[in-house]
Amino acid sequence: MIAGALLLLAATLAAWFVAGGARPAARVQIRFAAVLFGALAPALAVLPPAGAAVTLLVLPVGLSILALASIAGFSRPLPAGAAALFLALVCLAGLAAAITGWAVLSLVPCAVAILALLAIFLRQFDAARLASVQGMASALCFLGAVSSFAAYGADAALLLFAAAGFLGITLALSRSDVAVEEAPARDLRGLAAIGGRRPD
């Protein structure tokens, strides 16, 4: 458990710096999620009895923030009001799950966020293939983390899957700015080539 917690903490620290390559709106959200997942590591390693309650809160909120970061990384971010309302509802669900012990209240938002991540990265397959595949694989890592938590509780597998998923999504989004800006550049070069042709 301690080794897994250290690995997750190292992944969040690395992601903080890797996020510098992402678009500004996504960068802020990635670093916020890094703080949440970074807090999960010592909670599970130092206070295992409280680890389950912390996990019920951190997983849905952290995954939802990563979904919002992925939207901002490849297109326009959601309006602030809509994003705030969405996160408020997810926070309430996580708090209710932590207080009552009804894990389903936390697992449902987690599943929705993972499906959203898969859909967002799948849409980028043609424009940014490497980032798309990396993002989808990372979303599946988070699916493994949530499944492990649902089946066995807060254990080392949860920490390892979460570390892989978080760092993978951060790496994918760090390439999003390049992918988004390269496509218009290619289009402009194509137009210049067409415009430069002489009629036969």
pLDDT band at 198 (very low <50, low <70, confident <90, very high): very low
pLDDT tens digits for 137-168?
999 999 999 999 998 887 889 999 999 999 99
Q: What's the chain's length in residues?
A: 200
Out of 4-8, 42-46, 151-155, least confident range: 42-46
- What whole-number percentage of the chain has pLDDT above 90? 58
Give the helix, strand, coil percentages of the chain, each rounded to 5: 85, 0, 15
Which DSSP symbol is given to 199?
A: P
Question: What pLDDT is attached to residue 199?
Answer: 47
**CB neighbours of residue 189 within 10 Å:** 10
**CB neighbours of residue 65 within 10 Å:** 25
